[in-house]
Chain A
Amino acid sequence: MTDVLAVQTKRRSRLRISKQLRTPLALTGGVIVAFWLLVAVFAPLIRPFDPLAQDFDRLQAPSAAHWFGTDQVGRDVLSRVISGAQVSIPLALMLVIFAMLIGSVLGAIAGYFGKALDETIMRIADLVFAFPTIILAMVIAASLGPSLTNAVIAMLIVSWPAYARVTRSLVLGARNAEYVVAGRLLGNGPFTSLSKDVLPNVVSPVVVLATLDVGTAILLLSGLSFLGLGAVPPTPDWGAMVSDGVQNFSSWWIAAFPGLAILTVVLAFNFLGDALRDALDPRSQEAVQGRAL
């Protein structure tokens, strides 16, 4: 019977979500994200030149031959921006997914089992929260040594606690719900109970958080690369390319285009995440349907 109910609510909420997501902002976000995903997938086919080849005159302004100009060692900026999509987007998505998995599993364990496990996990999370994000990521990435892998590890370390906190509080709320207790009384073990009864109710807020995080992850990753702690030259990373622009200030195009790439992709993910949060937030639901009734 619980299953039937669950299916019904799920179906209803899915209907509502698809309707809610048809806002101009969400559509804009969706189109831009789709555009960049296609760029990332087909990058080798659509980039006009080899992003690593130093074949051209240095520091050429944008022209018909090089739409985005060339950089300080004579590489085609457009090709590098296109290839940059293959670096930032998959890494950011992967990062968010792993952070979500690690964070929510640890958070669920902390919330469900409590006691020493809870204390240990949450105090470690507190430590991470004691630093501003980029600072901690910078410190960790620096001591691991500069590389994309290490930057991603550093970012994982700073991003899982947010998921752990959210999941923990949701699990704490759900753990004592009647249907969970009923499940336990019917003889479900703790892991069955956790995975079958508790987690399904925790998933959607955590997924919203993850969607909202993709943009932040791209910003953070490009920030680390800008600091020289992420992508190592000559990898065509957007953040590193902006950093090249700082060294060659008068050639504005070196930094302008990769920066625009970061901005559009982050903005698009944030548009999507924002719409998704609105769609899943019961309060804004109620508000849409006419409040105070």
Chain B
Amino acid sequence: MSASGITIQGLTLSFGRGDAEKQILRGIDLDVPAGQITGLAGESGSGKTMTGLAVCGLLPAGANVGGSIRFEDVELTQLKQRAMNEYRGAKIAMIFQDPTASLHPMLTIEAQLIDHYRHHTGASKKVAKQRALEMLGLVAVPSPEAALRKYPHQFSGGQLQRIAIASALMCEPSVLIADEPTTALDVTVQAGILRLLRTLCDELGIAIILVTHDLGVMSALADTIAVMRMGEIVEHGSRFQVITDPQHPYTRALIEALPDAADAPDAAHSPDTSSAANAANASDAVPTEGGLS
């Protein structure tokens, strides 16, 4: 599998000018290697979501961006929207927090799976549909053929998030940004989605940026964890190191704030647990509804 990750250096982001300027990111350095899940943790307002959006070039109007985001030797921050569209959805895909909101309620699943695929590859409807069936199979949506004809309101949240992931995978992206992918889901289906992300990362070699406030999810899934606070990365290290031996007082506070802090390090005690099963078990073990924010 092609292996290209993302390298972020000195990324700054602000809104407004002069006195009204509001600093959102103050110099982020982050390496997102292929085949790994890089976690971005922090409470709301820490800038983690903005970092994800910056990689996708989806920042709100009026954002002032500085620093560098490199992908396949291309400087993404310098790209115009039109050029960025070549990457978005094709090589860099994104999934959002609430799948019931991120899929259009009035378009069929088929329409939403194939439109960007056909746009990016120029494939025929038939080929695109074949690909969509394949992807739905990959993310384990039951009876894909029937699913294509349905509308989002006919699925559960967990199924919809699988469909959203299938949609993201349509164009074989190298990078997947997952913004709070399980936060809006029932605790019972969270494990399945996490397991799926782990498998995709391992088997397709995709670089995943996992943005979440939930250290429970983070400790179950991420290979490395970057802890963000007020627009800066205060700590970055392997999952094991960050969870069991936090260096920064803020990280320590976050971990202690977990409802059963004692369990969290346990769940991540073996740093090499990259298999899907372990990830799922771990996330089962950590009550995920007790996150921060």
Question: Residues of B contacting A291 with CB < 8 Å?
Answer: 60
Asked if A130 is at the interface (CB within 8 A of a chain B CB), the reply is no
Query: Is A65 an interface residue, CB under 8 A from the partner?
Result: no
| Cβ of B150 under 8 Å from chain A | no
* A-contact 0/1 string along B1-29, CB 8 Å cutoff: 00000000000000110000010100000
Q: Write out the residue numbers on chain B whose beta carbons fall within 8 Å of the beta carbon of A292.
A: 60
A26 to B146 CA separation, bound complex (whole angstroms): 55
Count class of interface residues, chain A: under 10
Nearest Cβ on chain A to B144's Cβ, whole angstroms = 34
- A293 at the B interface (CB under 8 A): yes
Nearest CB of B to A30, in Å: 27
Give the residues in chain B near A293, CB-CB below 8 Å. Answer: 15, 22, 24, 45, 60
Which B49-91 residues have C-beta < 8 A from chain A?
60, 62
* Alpha-carbon separation in the docked complex, A291 to B22 (Å): 13
Q: Which residue of A lies closest to B15 (CB)?
A: A290
Q: What distance in Å separates the Cβ of A291 from its nearest Cβ neighbour in chain B? A: 6
In the complex, A293→B45 CA distance in Å? Answer: 7
Bound-complex Cα distance A292 to B22 (A): 13
A291 to B61 CA separation, bound complex (whole angstroms): 9
Q: Which of B182-236 contact A (CB under 8 A)?
A: none
Task: Name A290's closest neighbour in chain B (CB-CB).
Answer: B15
Shortest beta-carbon distance from B14 to chain A in Å = 11
Chain B's nearest CB lies how many Å from the CB of A283?
15
- CB-CB under 8 A from A290, the residues of chain B are 15-16, 22, 60, 62
Cα(A134)–Cα(B231), bound, Å = 57
Give min CB distance, A217 to chain B, whole Å. Answer: 38
CB distance from B57 to the nearest CB of A (A): 14
A291 to B59, alpha carbons, bound, how many Å? 10
Residues of A contacting B60 in the complex (Cβ-Cβ under 8 angstroms): 290-293
CA distance A291 to B16 in the complex (A): 12
| B22 contacts across to A, CB distance below 8 A | 290, 293
With A and B bound together, what is the CA distance between A291 and B62 in angstroms? Answer: 10
Which residues of chain A come closer than 8 Å to B62, judged between CB atoms? 290
Q: Nearest residue in A to B62 (C-beta to C-beta)?
A: A290
- What's the nearest-Cβ distance from chain B to residue A177, in Å? 24
In Å, the complex CA distance between A140 and B62 comes to: 54
In the assembled complex, the Cα of A290 lies from the Cα of B17 at a distance in Å of: 12
Produce 1/0 per residue, B247-280, CB < 8 A to A: 0000000000000000000000000000000000
Whole-angstrom distance from the CB of B96 to the nearest CB of chain A? 13
**Extra contacts besides A293-B15, A293-B24 (5): CB < 8 Å:** A290-B15, A291-B60, A293-B22, A293-B45, A293-B60
Interface residues of A (CB under 8 A from B): 290-293
12 A-B contacts, Cβ less than 8 Å apart?
A: A290-B15, A290-B16, A290-B22, A290-B60, A290-B62, A291-B60, A292-B60, A293-B15, A293-B22, A293-B24, A293-B45, A293-B60
Top 3 A-B pairs ranked by shortest CB distance? A292-B60, A290-B15, A291-B60
